Amino acid sequence: MYEATKRRHVSEQVAAIFPQTVTDQIFSVIKLMNDADQLVTAPVALAFSDDYTDDELYALLIQGNLAPAQEFPISYDGDKSAFLGHGYILIVKDNPKAIYIDFSKANDLSELNK
């Protein structure tokens, strides 16, 4: 599950909203947690806190009721308004040949389709 040798893929919709610096760090956290045997299910969800500093934001990795949610920081000093404050939830899927980041179906993406 979530092997480091798999390709990494970000959906076009996520890539249009989230900077690559942020998604790269999400992949790094997934790798680190997998190496530490802390990932117990796939897929996992990510929710983002509206609290942030000039150079850091916070995400919560959720594995349902199988493990406690874990908060982690993401370093980013750019404009955060495109992706924070919208309630976006990302899903990190473990596909056979790739680890894939996409929006959760729970998101209201109607504003993105305008």
Sheet of strand 70-75, all strands in order from the earlier edge strand to the far edge: 7-10, 98-103, 89-94, 44-53, 56-62, 70-75
Please state whether 6 falls in left (phi above 0), alpha (psi between -120 and 50) or beta: beta
Please state the domain extents for the chain: 7-103
Q: Read off the pTM.
A: 0.92
Per-residue pLDDT of the chain (114 residues; tens, 9 = 90+): 899 899 999 999 999 999 999 999 999 999 999 999 999 999 999 999 988 999 999 999 999 888 889 999 999 999 999 999 999 999 999 999 999 999 999 887 877 765
Specify the fold of 7-103.
Nuclear Transport Factor 2; Chain: A, (3.10.450)
For residue 73, list its beta bridge partners.
Answer: 58
In DSSP terms, 75 is beta-bridged to 56
Look at residues 80, 23, 15, 29 and name the one whose alpha carbon lies nearest to residue 52: 80
**Residue 10: Cβ within 10 Å count:** 20
